[in-house]
Amino acid sequence: MPVLVWKLQPKDENALDVYEGYPRLYRKELVRVRVRVNGKQVRVMVYIMNDGHLISPPRMSYYNTIREGYMSASFDLEILRDAAKKSQTGRRKAQ
């Protein structure tokens, strides 16, 4: 799965919290990722859907925002398309 890492300012994190529905829909966790450029491991914050919420397709505006990010980073759009298709058939609760 492709990943981008940004250094956030507090005001940017606050805006993302609102956009992602934190803490009602998503929670924040710290995970370690290896950065390709220098091979170092860094701890990063990620949003993870809370248990009990139905997984459903993203709104078109949200999908387009993600798609734009994929294109800017030269990520394979097929990965995004596959995830969107799975969200249409999944409809399971997050666990």
For residues 8 and 26, state if they share a domain.
Answer: yes
Counting the structural domains of the chain, the total is 2
Q: With residue 81 as reference, give the H or E element that holds it.
A: helix 77-90
- Which ranges of 8-76 does DSSP label H, i.e. alpha helix? 10-20, 60-72
The position carrying tokens 């994929």 is: 70
For residues 46 and 56, state if they share a domain.
Answer: no
pLDDT for position 34: 86
Q: How far apart are CA 34 and CA 36, in angstroms?
A: 6
pLDDT for position 22: 97
CA torsion 53-58-59-63 (nearest 10°) is: 150
For residues 43 and 66, state if they share a domain.
Answer: no
Does the global pTM surpass 0.85? no
For residues 72 and 28, state if they share a domain.
Answer: no
Question: Averaged in consecutive runs of 10 residues, what is the pLDDT profile of the chain (95 residues)?
Answer: 88 96 96 85 94 88 95 96 85 63
pLDDT for position 76: 97
For residues 30 and 75, state if they share a domain.
Answer: no
Domain ranges, residue 34: 1-50
